[in-house]
Amino acid sequence: MIKHKALLQCRVCGCLSHAPTQLKRFEVMHCPRCGARVKLAQQSTSVEVTWALLIAAAILYIPANLLPIMSVYMLGAGQPDTIITGVYHLLEAGQWPLALIVFVASIVVPLLKLFTLSFLLISIQRRSRWRQYDRMRLYRITEYVGRWSMVDVFVIAILTGLVQFGNLARVDANLGSLSFAAVVVLTMFAARTLDEHLIWDIAQQEEAQA
Amino acid sequence: MNENKGFADNLPDVELREQRWPSPVWLIPLAALLIGFWLLFQAWYERGPTITVQFSSAEGIEPGKTEVRYKAVTVGKVKKLKLDNELKYIEAIIELNKEIGRHLGTNASFWVVRPRVNRSGVSGLGTLFSGSYIGMDPGTDNDDQSFYKGAERPPVIAPAEDGKRFFLISDSLGSMDVGAPVFYKQLQVGEVIDYELLDNQDRVQLELFIRAPYFQYVHDNTRFWNASGVELNMNSTGAEFRMESLISVLIGGIAFETPAGVAGGEVSKQGDTFVLHRNYADSQEKQYATRLYYVMYFDGSVRGMDVGSDVEFQGLPIGKVENIEMKMDKDSLDVRVPVLVYIQPQYFDESLTKETGEIAMRKLVEKGMRAKLDTVSFLTGQKVITLSMETDPPPASIKATQFYSEFPTTGTAFEELPFIAADIMISLDETLAGINKLVNSGKLDKTVDNLNKVLAEAEQAVKAAKETLKTVDKNTLPSVTNDVNKISQDLSNTMQKIQGSMGQLDRLTAQNSPTQHQLQEMLEEVTAASRALRSLTETLQRQPSALLRGK
């Protein structure tokens, strides 16, 4: 893998050290001074961590949509709603703009985030050079939009805290909201851990080799 | 890359460590996977049976919303509604909880709880806000099935309530309805839960539920009576007023009491049958469930006899007149008046049943028991049928006919009493005329002694006549009439007094008498009150919310 002795700098104490020409399996490099882990650019764990977070998010996306996220009881009547039945109820009530917002923020955006991040990861792993600038933009949008999905969770948390009037009106959070919050947080972390530098890395390497 | 040799040579080599484990970041998806599996497993594990319940109307049932509740705990939910193949019923597909599914029996029952106003009150008010729900009783046995028929109304008694069921036999349902209260010492201890027409006896059977621990007050000799409305009895001892409760006045009710003093019967078993008396007074009379029906033909007029008149034996009621009709034989133009009566043989002996009672009656008739008409009151002409043992009667027996057996009767002189009275008046007139003649003829002095004798005899004769009148029969009457011919002025005075009191009685009951007027007024007021009540219940039925918001 590593053909010549490269220099490594520890990110913690700044110590420079020589990297070995060859790394055996299961061997990882640590700073000789402070013991912190040091990596070569090619050795970045960004892709691995992002994949892990992304898969966790994808798994939790299923219960987040199947389980009820919130129960609204008014005058004794009401039932737990999943995201999609909530959207359906809003539509039934004629509130289609609201329904659209909830649908986009709670179903489309997390799903799109899962797909775009997967797409970016795959394209990085395949060392693709295809439309690097656009992919960069896609990454930025994903990272920026991601946190707004948390609005749902905040709304539920606030309603649950505020609306507790016994039989008159009551809002309860259900297990689904927890899964949903986990999905949002995990995708946000995944976007964070994905090193956008890697999109360009391949170009740099090739340019350097050329 | 950058080959800065002299500088780079002094640098230490990087420290190499072995790490066989993959990055700990993979614990996150692992945890997510575990959580996901756990949630799915839980959802699968909590899933109860899916059943189909048939209702005649889907009113108030919403798929995905309507809950199934047992003792106010949500145990399931309606998933889907569909029509059955013949479009007669709707089928609600219900998903039940696992725990209730475990206890579901084949005799489980389901019903829709919606706001309801009926005679027994307002129920399901809570559903005005929460929407209808389906109530259920999981039943007792443990074999479950997937198809049930839903009931249209909730059971009156809560499932699994402790108590006993009894049956009451009544002539008519009256104002009773399912849910009508049952009172014991003015305490509501149970309800009417069902009623049906007994097809072969033309009577109504009511089913009661009496709660624990009150069912222990129901004994074999307990009497039930219809406590609907207000009972007002006026008799020589004064007025008596009975009312079980305001509810029973509005919706009817049944009260029961176990008479004290009588050797207390056994505590009744579940399913025992009792007679429902028409009112309290009725219930105080002995009445038995076994009735033998007979038809009787009387020679004379049956005027003064009504349906409900007593059949007596030695002055004690043992039965009642059930029906009086007229029947003509088309060929012979022979018009007869069959009187249908029932006799309760248990008055003679409580151990008699229908069969042994019939045999006993037959034997009694062979021994000389006959029915005859008896006048209870000369003033009103009211009559009863008396069963009495005749001395040396012509032989007769109970004749079986097409419908009812015929009971032999014997005629009575009292049917002709009005004519006798007229005869007596005429005779009196004649006697007076004779006395006049006697006085005028100047033979008086001679006859004073004789007259004194006659008067003394007459006095004796009157006494004898009175005695005879009590036990008289057709054969002895003519001689009585002859005796009476010689009667004195005393009797005539008595007759006048009787006439006088009859006149007063007439005035009291006349069309425009104050009594009549007051009764009329009272009736009108009662009618007005009941009309107001009806309008209230109708309003509530139309808009139960009026209870809360007003009209």
* Contact between B18 and A27 using a beta-carbon 8 Å cutoff: yes
Between A118 and B284, residue with greater pLDDT = A118
Task: Please give the pLDDT value at position B268.
Answer: 75
pLDDT tier at A67, thresholds 50, 70, 90: confident
Of A4, A49, A59, the CB nearest to B32: A59
Q: What global pTM score does this model have?
A: 0.48
> What pLDDT digit, counting tens, does each position of B235-250 carry?
656 676 767 666 666 6
Q: What is the 3-state secondary structure (H, E, C) of A62-128?
A: HHHHHCCCEEEEECCEEEEECHHHHHHHHHHCCCHHHHHHHHHHHHHHHHHHHHHHHHHHHHHHCCC
User: Cis peptide before B418, with omega less than 30 degrees from 0?
Assistant: no
Mutate to test the interface with A, among B14, B26, B44 (most CBs of A within 10 A): B14
- With both helix axes pointing from N to C terminus, report the angle between A109-125 and A175-193 in degrees, rounded to the nearest 10: 30
pLDDT of residue A116: 92
Asked if B19 lies within 8 A of A27 by C-beta distance, the reply is yes
Q: Does A17 reach chain B within 8 Å, measured CB to CB?
A: yes
Question: pLDDT-based confidence at B505, cuts 50/70/90?
Answer: low
Q: What is the pLDDT of residue B413?
A: 47
Residues of chain B with pLDDT > 90, as a percent, come to 0
Q: Computed from CA positions of residues B436, B438, B441, B444, in that sequence, does the dihedral angle turn out positive or negative?
A: negative
**B477 vs B15 pLDDT, higher one:** B15
Ramachandran category for residue B141: left, alpha or beta (phi over 0 → left; psi -120 to 50 → alpha):
beta
Distance separating alpha carbons of residues B433 and B427, to the nearest angstrom: 10
B447 class by beta-carbon count within 10 Å (0-12 exposed, 13-18 middle, 19+ buried): middle
Q: What's the rounded Cα separation, in Å, for the pair B529 and B246? A: 13
Interface test with A, best of B28, B38, B125 (most A CBs within 10 A): B28
Q: What would the mean pLDDT of B284-303 be, rounded to a whole number? A: 75
A26 touches chain B (CB under 8 A): yes
Q: Which has the closest alpha carbon to B120: B175, B164, B170, B172?
A: B175
The closest alpha carbon to B203, from B231, B173, B248, B247, belongs to B173
| Kind and range of the H or E run holding B233 | strand B231-235
| CA–CA distance, A90 with A75 (Å, rounded to integer) | 19
Contact B399, B455 (CB under 8 A): no
How far apart CA B146 and CA B92 sit, in angstroms, is: 11
Cα-Cα-Cα-Cα torsion B79, B82, B88, B89, nearest 10 degrees, comes to 0
Look at residue B510 and tell me whether its pLDDT is greater than 70: no
Q: What's the complex ipTM? A: 0.77
Residue B292 has pLDDT above 80, yes or no: yes
Instruction: Provide the shortest C-alpha distance from residue A75 to chain B (in Å).
Output: 6
Residues B323-356 pLDDT 10s: 888 888 888 888 888 888 888 887 777 777 778 8
Are B318 and B387 contacting, i.e. CB atoms less than 8 angstroms apart?
Answer: yes
- Residue B77 · residue B68 · CB < 8 Å: yes
Range with the lowest mean pLDDT among A176-185, B199-208, B240-249, B408-417? Answer: B408-417
| Residue B218 distance to chain A (closest CA, Å) | 42
- Work out the angle between the directed axes of helices B417-440 and B444-471 (0-180°, nearest 10): 170
Report which of residues B473 and B322 the model is more confident about. Answer: B322
CB contact under 8 A, A28 and B17: yes
Whether B438 has a pLDDT exceeding 80, the answer reads no
In the prediction, which pLDDT does A55 show? 92
Query: So what's the pLDDT on residue A2?
Result: 45
Residue B428's SS3 state is helix
Q: Which of A91-105, A128-142, B174-188, B487-501 has the lowest mean pLDDT?
A: B487-501
Does the pLDDT of residue B506 top 60, yes or no? yes
Put simply, whether A92 touches B (Cβ < 8 Å) is no
Q: Which residue has the higher pLDDT, A109 or B447?
A: A109
Among the partner residues B12, B22, B126, nearest to A17 by beta-carbon distance: B12
Query: Hey, are the CB atoms on B25 and A18 less than 8 Å from each other?
Result: no
For B119-141, what is each residue's pLDDT tens digit? Answer: 556 666 666 666 788 888 887 77
Give the mean model confidence (pLDDT) for residues B271-277: 80
Partners of A27 on chain B (C-beta within 8 Å) are: 16-19
The three-class DSSP label of residue B183 is strand
CA distance A18 to A8: 6
| Per-position DSSP letters for B26-44, written without gaps between them | GHHHHHHHHHHHHHHHHHH
Q: Do B20 and A28 touch (CB under 8 A)?
A: no
Nearest residue, CB atoms, A26 vs list B11, B20, B65: B20
The whole-number average pLDDT for the span B274-278 is 80
> Which chain A residue is nearest to residue B26, measuring alpha carbons?
A52
Model confidence at B420: pLDDT above 90: no
Q: Which of helix, strand or coil describes residue B476?
A: coil
Q: Does A14 touch chain B (CB under 8 A)?
A: no
pLDDT exceeds 90 at position B499: no
Asked if the C-beta of B529 comes within 8 angstroms of chain A's C-beta atoms, the answer is no
Nearest residue of B to residue A56, measured between CA atoms: B29
Q: Distance of CA A183 to CAs A87, A147, A190, B476, Å? A: 19, 11, 10, 116
Using a CB–CB cutoff of 8 Å, tell me whether A194 touches chain B: no
Note the pLDDT tens digit of each residue in B129-181. 667 888 888 877 767 678 888 887 777 666 667 888 888 888 877 777 777 88
Phi (first) and psi of residue B481, to 5 degrees:
-55, -40
User: Mean of the pLDDT values across residues A120-146?
Assistant: 87
Positive or negative, the CA dihedral B305, B308, B309, B312 is positive
Closest CA to B421 of B463, B379, B382, B476: B379
User: What whole-number distance in Å separates Cα of residue B56 and Cα of residue B53?
Assistant: 10
Strands B133-137 and B147-151, how do they pair? unpaired
Look at B28 and A66 and tell me if their CB atoms are within 8 Å: no
Contact B135, B154 (CB under 8 A): yes
Cα–Cα dist A134/B327, whole Å: 111
Could you tell me where the beta strands, DSSP code E, fall in B34-142? 47-55, 67-70, 73-83, 90-97, 109-113, 116-118, 121-123, 133-137
Chain A contact present for B471, CB below 8 A? no
pLDDT value of position B250? 67
CA–CA gap between residue B174 and residue B166 (Å, rounded): 18
- Residue of A4, A53, A67 lying closest to B28 (CB–CB): A53
Strands B147-151 and B47-55: parallel
Pick from B11, B16, B17: which is nearest to A20 by CB?
B16
When mean pLDDT is compared over A116-125, B60-69, B354-363, the highest value belongs to A116-125
Contacts of B114 in chain A (CB under 8 A): none
Element (H, E) at A172: strand A169-173
CB contact under 8 A, A27 and B26: no
Closest approach of chain B CAs to the CA of A49, in angstroms? 6
* Residue B500 confidence (pLDDT) above 80: no
Two tokens, residue B446: 């001679």
Q: By C-alpha distance, which of B377, B359, B237, B239 is closest to B309?
A: B377
Number of H-type helices and E-type strands within chain A: 8, 6
Q: How far apart are CA A118 and CA A114, in angstroms?
A: 6
- Which range, A173-177, B194-198, B343-347, B494-498, has the best average confidence (pLDDT)? A173-177
> Measured between CB atoms, does A47 come within 8 Å of chain B?
no
Identify the band that residue A80 occupies on the pLDDT scale cut at 50, 70 and 90.
confident
**Greatest mean pLDDT among A157-161, B18-22, B399-403:** A157-161
Which residue in B122, B247, B156, B126 sits closest to B540, CA to CA?
Answer: B122
Asked if B130 reaches chain A (Cβ–Cβ under 8 Å), the answer is yes
Residue B330, beta-bridge partner list: none
Q: What is the percent of chain A where pLDDT is above 90?
A: 18
Q: B14, A30: Cβ pair inside 8 Å? A: yes
CA of A80 vs chain B CAs: smallest distance (Å): 10
Q: B335 touching A, CB under 8 A?
A: no
3-class secondary structure, B294: strand
Facing A56 at nearest CB: one of B8, B16, B29: B29
List chain B residues with CB under 8 Å of A33: 12
Residue B548 touches partner A, C-beta closer than 8 Å: no
Confidence of residue B205 (pLDDT cuts 50, 70, 90): confident
Question: Does residue A1 carry a pLDDT above 50?
Answer: no
